Structure 1
Amino acid sequence: MKIRRSLKIFIVCAIMGMATITVVGFSTLTANYFEKGLDGGVRMTMQEIGRFSPANSDKEEYTLGFQIVHQWQEVTPEIRQVFAQPTKHLEFYKKIYRDHWYSEPNGALFLLRYERSNNEVLYISRIVDDIEAADLSSRLNQDDLPHLCQILGYATIALAMFAVCMYFVMQLVAQPIERLAKWAKTLTPCQLNHPLPDFHYNELNRLATIVKNSLSSVEDSLRREHKFLAHASHELRTPIAVVRSNTELMTKLVDKPNSIEKQKEVLERILRAGVTMTDLCETLLWLNRGHHNQLPLSQLHLGELLKQLSQELNYLIRDKDVQVEITVEGGVFELPTTLCRIVLSNLIRNAYQHTLRGTVVITQLGAEVSIKNRDTSCGDTQEQLGFGLGLELTHRIIRHYSWDCTIEEYPDGRDVRINFTS
């Protein structure tokens, strides 16, 4: 089983590791500066001794614990065994004895060559042995902890303070992230229209915006798919009905002699319905892509299309007392054929469906088509029958092509006028 890493634990461990390295590094630097400070103090003391010691004295002298001699052979043998004879003015040597880097020195050796203006050479040296170092350490740290314990104590305190600060910082960062995760987990399509919560940090707010936009995009895609299915089922009803009715008619004509011409007409209607279904599917897919390009135009006989659609939709008024009047002027226009078919079939279907008893008048004058229906029945067809999908699709197509369309509502019907060239 693969163990998933926790981002929070990883950040905590990484920061604590860097903090530990930093504390250890500064502790080492502190110990190094302590030693350099000691070197500097001893060296300055030895220079002052060389400057103010009596001149031209061949005797061995001791000042502040430092040996002062004029000849290298007179230097303490312990010093000569460790260091080579210095040859330059203010050449300084040292040797520190200790158990480890952070421990206090157990002993030390110091040597300095000092040359005066009269060419007099002085060798100033000092040996700090175990007893002297222990006595010095005890006098300096009478009431203090050992040097190593002090370093470890300061390092521990620094790490503890850093860990406490990091805990509060992690809480300030982790809580908004947990809120963001909870918000994203419980986000529903209904909440996409609500304002985004404030997660206190610009990065988290941008991430929330990305999540919301992604879900909105997915929701739009699903909504377009639902609309496509609804529109497809709505628009394909007519060609499917034409195929079924003509198939039944063809079944009856097969057994009848001398019906070849009639069978050809039925087959043409079935083929035409198949082509219509193909064009409808392609057009609906085009409409549901979210961004539309213009469909190719073709020569369209507008009057013939109205007659054809009226005949195909005739099954809707077959058992009704409805009179249909069609007046066409004819003419050929460059229009998107499938879209015009969708618009006109929806308008004619709507008129047929909303008329239980009365008249439907379809008129074509040039590129202008008007469809009027008057219902003389007592039923309230506007409440009983609804064709929102067809009208919604019709309005989308009309708006996309900026066709001039006017709709006038009456108590007993509706007048629709559409101009395909405006």
Structure 2
Amino acid sequence: MKNSQSIKKLVLLFVLIACSLLVISYSILVNIFFEKGLVLAVQHRLELESNFYAAAYEKDKGTRLPDAANFKTFQDYEGLPAEIKEKVGPDFPAGEFDIVHSVKNENEFHFIYSWKRSDGKVLYFVYSLGDADKSELILSTLHGIAYYTIATGLILFLGIILVALLIIRRITKLVMRLTDWAVNLNNDNVEKTIGDFQYKELNQLAVLFQRNMRRQLAGIQREQKFLRNASHELRTPVAVLQSNLDWLNRLGADEEEKFKRPLSSMEKAVNNMKELITTLLWINKKDIDSMPKHEIKVDDQLQNIIDENSYLLANKKVQVKMELPPQVVSAPETLARIVWSNIIRNSFQHTYQGEINISLLEGMLTVTNDLIPDAAESISEGFGLGLMLIQDLTDSLGWHLTVNERSTSYSVRLQMD
């Protein structure tokens, strides 16, 4: 998300580039058309001169060749100026038109038009333009046209930019309105009629948001219903187990050596089931703010939880290393214990050999355990349920849960600050 682009800036940049290219292209085209128009005008004049001369020549064979200040007619190729002959060869066909740039003066041009007279002789009409032919009136007119062209281009450029900005601003407002509507969409207003966002695409997005919200709310309702039903359904068999354990203890079964170990394991399993049921109920309730907070000695609670779940390591080659300096945290005690119990119980349950390291340093609880490489995938999947159940609780408590999974180890970090 850090490198995300702005559609507004992208569209504006596109419009700027497009307008700039448009203005530059039209400026180049204006210059090309001006030069082409000048050439066509001169060519047309030379053709007219040849037509007038042809008509006069038919009436009078002694008609003089057209001649003016910058217009001359040559009866043969040899009479042409040297710089023209360098460009135009003696085989220059009749009826052709060409432009010759002066070598001596870069501002001087010669327009040559060859024409065959009725007696078969080829004449060369040459129209020359140079510094001496400049006209202040024409230059002033050309400058005016240039200024007009530039001004018109700038006005069009600014006009297009202004229109683009207005359109972008309008669409941005509608998108922000759609965003606010989508953010505030909840269970209370999801069924209300969608407002008109004026554009077909935005209305389609609004419908899509509404449908997604409906699906999410339906999923949440199914999840809450499942949690309620599961927690209540589990209470009955757990209560039966607890009653039977209490009855066996009253009969003195816990005093017989051969029953002590299985009864202790059953008692701890029942307690774990009670904590699981409590977890499900609190996840479904999600009313953390109403619970009173207490100053909890984290190290003492963790030690008790470790002792209660030590039966899960029976007959396993697992060594537990602890670093639990005294530390106090302010939180709802029941929920905090649920979170800590789930983390430690998951670690004990899914570790079959190696080490389990439990450390409590500066508000950070870290539980790291070794995994068997061949069974890493199945073990990793087993961690999912317990951690999934406490993820909502840690978020509600303002704590941060981080899981780091590797091929040979599994680490859970709980930041409680």
Q: What is the TM-score normalised by the length of structure 2?
A: 0.54
- Is 2:47 the counterpart of 1:42? no
Deviation at 1:11, TM superposition (A): 0.9
Query: Do the aligned residues in 2 keep the contact of 1:50 with 1:114 (CA within 8 Å)?
Result: yes
Task: Verify: 1:87 aligned to 2:92, yes or no.
Answer: yes
Distance 1:144 1:121, change over 3 A: closer
Q: Which residue is 1:17 aligned to?
A: 17
Instruction: Return 5+ residue gaps in structure 1 as ranges.
Output: 98-104, 257-262, 282-422
Q: Deviations over 1:193-232 (max 9, x none)?
A: 1111211111111112222222222222221111111111
Counterpart Cα distance in 2 of 1:28 and 1:247 = 97
After TM superposition, where is structure 1 displaced by more than 4 Å over at least 4 residues in a row? Answer: 1-4, 56-60, 141-144
Equivalent runs, 1:19-418 vs 2, <5 Å? 19-53=19-53, 54-55=56-57, 60-62=65-67, 65-85=70-90, 87-95=92-100, 106-132=107-133, 134-135=134-135, 138-142=136-140, 145-255=143-253
Q: Distance in 1 between matches of 2:3 and 2:75?
A: 74
Taking every aligned residue pair, what percent have the same amino acid on both sides?
24
Secondary structure at 2:115 match in 1:
strand
Q: Is the 8 A contact 1:90 1:114 kept in 2?
A: yes
Q: Distance in 1 between matches of 2:77 and 2:159?
A: 54
2:33 maps to amino acid? Y
**Contact 2:194/2:207 (CA < 8 Å) preserved in 1?**
yes
**Structure 1, residues 115-171: CA drift from partner, whole Å, max 9, x if none?**
234323110111111121x21xx2235467455434322221221121122122222
Q: Is the 8 A contact 2:70 2:129 kept in 1?
A: no
Deviation at 1:95, TM superposition (A): 4.2
Range moving further from structure 2, 189-198 or 88-97: 88-97
Point out the structure with max Rg over C-alpha. 1
| Alignment partners' CA distance in 2, 1:65 and 1:41 | 15
Distance 1:182 1:131, change over 3 A: farther
CA distance in 2: counterparts of 1:91 and 1:116, whole angstroms:
14
Alpha carbons of structure 1 residues 95 and 212: separation in structure 2 relative to 1, 3 Å: farther
Cα contact 1:111–1:126 (8 A) shared by 2:
yes
Shift of 1:76: 3.4
Q: Between 202-211 and 166-175, report the one with greater CA deviation.
A: 166-175
Task: Count matched residues.
Answer: 256
Structure 2 counterpart SS, 1:88: coil
Root-mean-square deviation (CA, aligned residues, Å) is 3.6
**Matches of 1:145 and 1:45, distance apart in 2:** 24
For 1:246, the aligned partner's letter is N
More helix by share: 2
Residues 251 and 106 (structure 1 numbering): CA distance in 2 closer, same or farther, change over 3 Å?
A: same
Q: 1:164-197: CA deviations, max 9, x gaps?
A: 2212222232221121122223323322111112
